[in-house]
Amino acid sequence: MVNTGPAYLFAGQGSQYPGMGKDLYEAFPQSRAIFDKADEVLGFSLSRICFEGQPEILKQTIISQPAILTVSIAAFEAFKSKLQAPSSRLQGGDPVFMAGLSLGEYSALIASGAFTFESGLKLVRRRAEIMDEATRRHPGTMAAVLDLDIEKVKDICLKSGAEIANINAPGQVVISGKKDAVAKASEMCVEAGAKRVIELEVSGAFHSSLMFEASAELKQALRNTPIMAPLVPVISNYTALVQSQAPEIEQNLACQLYKSVRWVESVQYMLSQGVKKFYEFGPGKVLKGLMRRIDPEAVVVNIEKKEDVLKQSNKS
């Protein structure tokens, strides 16, 4: 059966910026409750860092991951509360899928009911610590390759020792690995006709084999985290398919750490099921930009600020 409802998308790491979430906190009690809970769970004022922190602090993995997740869920809870009001109705019906880019998959799983916010936040904090520790043991980097055929990028990775980390959109592939391997691959991609190769401001080689040891540590953290069956199907970054049971969610999230993020396939799966409208929750508009490359006809509505929530809740 073809679905006609919308899908909910959640932002990944790198979308953070100073001031994010502040107007949500001030406008909606549901968002305020999320930030207050985050401060309580983490034992420090994450809200203050989101609202007033400097970019160099916000971009640290151990800060950015819980911060982006918290802002994303704060936006989701505000949106949900307004749409549940008697005078408000979501055009297109309830969501038929949820998905998130890398870190965003955790936000999607919280929104779908697979994790509570508290347990999901603790898990993401631990994930960030594990990844931070892994980057010190196995230093590396990442780079975005623009406008070069994916098969050429794969071939270059085989020759250089770099790896495919993210297949974000047609013409946008992220490579990862040891610094010398990524540098060599970047040079080869430019020679092969890439429009640009941009080294990313990240602390390590995420979604590469350098994270393999870290995935075992993450799997242990996942085993200690209660996981419920999601109320809305969530697309796995690792398989680009629906995950519906706790054991597969645990396995997929552990593999996600050192395997490629198959974002194009994930979005194409939802499109193939009849989804035409998407809501992007969290800071920035990265996923909307990627969607323009994947399917320019798909509609993406960003839910990031107070006015975004009010605009949607006023529709009937």
Which residue among 47, 207, 208, 266 is the active-site one? Answer: 207
Rg of the chain taking only CA atoms, in angstroms: 19
3-state SS assignment for residue 254: helix
Q: Is 102 a catalytic residue?
A: yes
3-state SS assignment for residue 286: helix
Q: Which whole-number Å values give the CA distances from 56 to 11, 31, 124, 150, in the listed order?
A: 19, 25, 20, 32
Pair of tokens at residue 32: 């305020």
Nearest to 68 by CA among 30, 118, 106: 106
Alpha helices (H) along the chain: 22-27, 29-42, 46-52, 55-58, 61-83, 104-111, 117-137, 150-160, 179-191, 212-223, 246-256, 263-272, 286-294, 306-313
Count each helix (H run) and each strand (E run) in the chain, helices first: 14, 10
Please check whether residue 167 is in contact with residue 238, taking contact to mean a CB–CB distance below 8 angstroms.
Answer: no
Which residue among 15, 64, 72, 102 is the active-site one? Answer: 102
Nearest to 73 by CA among 122, 125, 38: 38
Round to whole Å and give the CA distance between 112 and 233.
7
10 Å CB burial of residue 228 (0-12, 13-18, 19+) is middle
CB atoms within 10 A of CB 246: 16
State the amino acid at position 300 in one-letter form: V
Q: Point out the residues that are catalytic.
A: 102, 207
